[in-house]
Amino acid sequence: MRDSSNVINNVVNNNLCIGCGVCTAVCPTDSLTIKLNSKGTFEPHLNPDDCDDNGICLKVCPFNPFPEDQIKTEDEIISQISFEKRDQIKKTKFFGHYSSLNVGYAQKHRENGSSGGIASWLLKKLMRENKVDHVIATIEENPNKGKHFKYAILSKEEDIDLSSKTKYYPIEAGDVLKLSLEKKGKYAFIGLPCTIKAIRLAQIENPKTWAHIKFTISIFCGGLKSTFFTEYLSSKLDVPHNEILSPKYRLKNVDSTAGDYSFSCIKNGETSPRILPMKQVGDMWGTGYFKPNACDFCEDYSGELADISLGDAWIPPYSNDGRGHSLIITRTSETKKIFQEGQEMEQLYLEKISEKQAALSQEGNYNHRRIGLSYRLKWAKSENKIVPPKRIKEIVFENPLKAKIFKLRQQIQQESTLIWMEERDNLGKLFETKISKTKKKLFLFTKLEHLFRKKYWIRKIKGK
């Protein structure tokens, strides 16, 4: 049953908020403010005295459980976005509409980028060619402000370098989007699929107000990490949560594979970063450590509503190269041309890839986000939990092994957060002991499930 039409009653109280912040930017009475909560994610707060209950916050929310039919899911929303020359655009169930699929890198930005440095190259090109005046992207924040990163409006080409690199950290966009309404000009916005969805919903709801965002660029997403992820990794370097400076998540090892990257941070009072190879901490993605609940009810991992989507090319031969390759999806003829020009000017190295290869590069993500979602929707329904409408249907016949794995991942998600709340002041000393039982079970069932998979044996025989 729908409660009063604001996001607090319908989204936050149903544990569905991802903390994108867009609701705060559209609120006409400035009744919503966004803050980090005790679980290390952003969440809006309402001043009920100022709220006029107009409900726009809920209409733009990517996790609105009661959207109108014409904006029900990504499929309906996309039909409201005027992508030109639709006839040339293809569609796949894996990552939506596309006009070109490439793997590649930007010659000048690869070294400093997380994957192929394509995001930084693209944002600079858009600015240099006056396609946009400003870029809304993420940069480092002064840690005295209680967080390590923020969104900022960047108006000089050289400032784009400040935004490069992936931050596995929650970053809300509300404040800066509000600011963009005052600062005139054309904008490009780069962010996660859920934030892009919220911006699209704002553009549909109020086209004139949000027409200044001319380009939306989505990074692929396998799930957000709360601030606890950074604290957890830092604790492995003996850096307490209140002494972390300048965390970095994707230090490349150019002599190894793309997946062999490291985390680093500086301990307050020191000058050199301490470095943690991620392979020392094990799988942080498949297990769902420190992931917000909302991500488990999100089925768009590529940013289907964006003009361009950028990710990592997690398939051989590209994944064997530690210097990094981007997976690039353009979704309009205009953005396809931008990449063709980059290639002609030899600023980009690009290789065309097939739909199948692109989908394969995000296979694990797809399995958890779509197949897993079909299980989670069924369980949510049986527990009378409110969730947003999805394209994927509830599973009818559960595979008991898969069901066990998806359940255990949900359990680890919740346990990792609760245990970290107990352990964060103690440098996480008992964290591993406390989580080990569930982690071992997940490991065991995952191994068992692999043994029953045909693909596992084919890959083993082929030596991949």
Relative to beta strand 42-46, strand 32-36 is antiparallel
Least CB distance to ligand SF4 at residue 56 (A): 10
Least CB distance to ligand FAD at residue 187 (A): 13
- Which of 154, 258, 298, 387 is in the footprint of ligand SF4 by CB under 6 A? 298
The number of beta carbons lying within 10 Å of the beta carbon of residue 158 is 9
Report if residue 40 touches ligand SF4, rule: CB under 6 A. no
Report if residue 103 touches ligand SF4, rule: CB under 6 A. no
Report the alpha-carbon distance of residue 335 to residue 157 in Å, rounded.
Answer: 19
Q: Which partner from the list ligand FAD, ligand SF4, none does 119 bind, CB cut-off 5 to 8 Å by kind? A: ligand FAD
Query: By C-alpha distance, which of 97, 95, 305, 288 is closest to 193?
Result: 305
Task: Considering the complex, state which of residue 44 and residue 292 has its C-beta at the smaller distance from ligand FAD.
Answer: 292
Taking CB under 6 A as the binding criterion, the range among 19-27, 126-134, 384-392, 447-455 that sits at the site for ligand SF4 is: 19-27
Least CB distance to ligand SF4 at residue 180 (A): 16
Give the strands of the sheet with 149-154, arranged side by side.
149-154, 134-140, 187-191, 213-219, 308-312, 326-330, 100-106, 348-352
Q: What is the DSSP letter of 320?
A: G
- Which of 136, 213, 244, 294 is in the footprint of ligand SF4 by CB under 6 A? 294
Taking CB under 6 A as the binding criterion, the range among 59-67, 255-263, 269-277, 324-332 that sits at the site for ligand SF4 is: 59-67
Least CB distance to ligand SF4 at residue 40 (A): 14
To the nearest 10 degrees (0 to 180), the angle between helices 118-128 and 333-344 is 100
Chain positions contacting ligand FAD, by CB under 6 A: 109, 113-120, 137-138, 163-169, 171, 190-192, 219-222, 224, 310-312, 326-327, 362, 365
- Which of 14, 21, 188, 387 is in the footprint of ligand SF4 by CB under 6 A? 21
Report the alpha-carbon distance of residue 10 to residue 212 in Å, rounded.
Answer: 29
Q: Which partner from the list ligand FAD, ligand SF4, none does 10 bind, CB cut-off 5 to 8 Å by kind? A: none
Q: Which partner from the list ligand FAD, ligand SF4, none does 137 bind, CB cut-off 5 to 8 Å by kind? A: ligand FAD
Report if residue 17 touches ligand SF4, rule: CB under 6 A. yes
Report the alpha-carbon distance of residue 195 to residue 166 in Å, rounded.
Answer: 16
Q: From its phi and psi, is residue 257 left (phi > 0), alpha (psi between -120 and 50) or beta?
A: beta
Report if residue 199 touches ligand SF4, rule: CB under 6 A. no
Half-sphere exposure of 430 (CA within 13 A, CB side): 9
Residue 344 neighbours by CB under 8 Å, 6+ apart:
none
Sign of the CA dihedral running 155, 173, 32, 51: positive
Q: How many residues bind ligand SF4 (CB under 6 A)?
A: 24
Report the alpha-carbon distance of residue 19 to residue 25 in Å, rounded.
Answer: 12
Taking CB under 6 A as the binding criterion, the range among 4-12, 114-122, 381-389, 398-406 that sits at the site for ligand SF4 is: 4-12
- Quick one: which H or E segment has residue 101? strand 100-106
Report if residue 223 touches ligand SF4, rule: CB under 6 A. yes
Task: Considering the complex, state which of residue 67 and residue 116 has its C-beta at the smaller distance from ligand FAD.
Answer: 116
Taking CB under 6 A as the binding criterion, the range among 58-66, 180-188, 384-392, 452-460 that sits at the site for ligand SF4 is: 58-66
Contacts 24+ apart (CB under 8 A), 339-346: 339/100, 339/102, 342/106, 342/121, 342/125, 343/104, 346/107
Report if residue 22 touches ligand SF4, rule: CB under 6 A. yes
CA 456 vs CA 358, 444, 461, 463, 464: distances in Å = 19, 16, 9, 10, 9
Report if residue 67 touches ligand SF4, rule: CB under 6 A. no
Applying CB under 6 A, which residues contact ligand SF4? 7, 11-12, 17-23, 44, 61-63, 192-194, 198, 221, 223-224, 294-295, 298
